Amino acid sequence: MFGMRRREFITLLGGAAVAWPLAARAQGKVPTIGLLGSGTAAAQSQWTAAVVTRLREVGWTERRNIAIEYRWADGRRERFVEIADEFVRLKVDVIVTHNTLPALAAKQATSAIPIVFATAGDPVGTGIVASLARPGGNITGLSSQHPDATGKRLELLRDLVPGLRRLAVLADVDNPFSAMDIREVQGAATNLNLEVSTFEVRRVEDIGHAFDALQGRSEALYVLPNPILFVNRVRISTFALGARLPAIYAVREYVEAGGLISYGPNWPDMWRRAAELVDKILRGAKAGEIPVEQPTKFDLVVNSVTAKAMRLVIPPTLLARADEVIE
């Protein structure tokens, strides 16, 4: 009787059952994805929806033929390691993460479970993968790094602040991607004759201290997309507004939270593409043999409400170039 029910169950699920990893099929369970969110459930709701929707479109539906274990690190680096270790104990079939430190934590936790990172600043430079074409090991994903994005952000700031000379950078300097990104900022700033000062943020308390320190020393702000900064993006945009300091960010979510302007890859789009990589792995592909993909969709987003509050005039040419203007 049990054998008959099991055969009917597999027949009912059709092709998706054939795609399950051998280990999962042997245990008679649906494959499980461990989703390591570097922020909070609320902060990442758009990205989570993007990955779940795309999984469903390619044949994987929660509570039917796939399970997803969600864990949220709230931007705290110690949680990245704890969650990655928990997923190894749970024997999930694929770990999905994003940002540099969570990807590195997952890689350190397991060399067997496939890992897909939805975003990572410079996956080769930070040691996540051996190369973009052949990542190797048990990991693949999407690089959010774009060679000229940093220079474009600084040029946008200069358009907003004519005569810009002094730039502040807000960064978690313990993040290996931050160190590389700061070098990119300094290189681009040299070409534009800008003086750069870096302000370190490792904990929430550091944000207020950083703004106290940069007041009067900077004319614009460049905020790196680190987990601790992302989780506190409302706090950062509030401080920037209070200081009337034009700030640019790498992703639109900061601008939706009251930030002034962002230019960078569209993260929901990257999460959708990460779901496609998960699909390939669940259907038998080896993660280390799937090339790391590059961002294809970039957004320029401007918050005109914040600009008005800062008494800042956005040049019409910049507004015309914007993919979205928040009013």
pLDDT digits (tens, 9 = 90+) for 169-221: 999 877 777 877 888 899 999 989 999 999 999 889 999 999 999 988 999 99
Phi, psi of 66, rounded to the nearest 5 degrees: -155, 150
On the CB side of 181, CA atoms within 13 Å amount to: 30
Is residue 184 domain-shared with residue 292, that is, in the same domain? no
* CATH number for 210: 3.40.50.2300
Q: What pLDDT digit, counting tens, does each position of 133-172 carry?
A: 999 999 999 998 766 788 999 999 999 999 999 999 999 8
Query: Helix, strand or coil for residue 285?
Result: coil
Classify 14 in phi/psi space as left (phi over 0), alpha (psi -120 to 50) or beta.
left
82 with 194, same domain? Answer: no
pLDDT at 17: 40
Give the model's pLDDT for residue 312: 94
Computed over its alpha carbons, how large is the radius of gyration of the chain?
A: 21
Give the residue numbers spanning the domain of 186.
149-266+299-326
* Orientation angle between helical segments 100-109 and 77-90, nearest 10 degrees: 40
**Quick one: 92 and 177 in the same domain?**
no
What pLDDT digit, counting tens, does each position of 16-25 carry? 444 444 444 4
The count of structural domains within the chain is 2
One domain for residues 290 and 307: no
Q: How confident is the model at residue 225 (pLDDT cuts 50, 70, 90)?
A: confident
What is the pTM for the complete model shown? 0.83
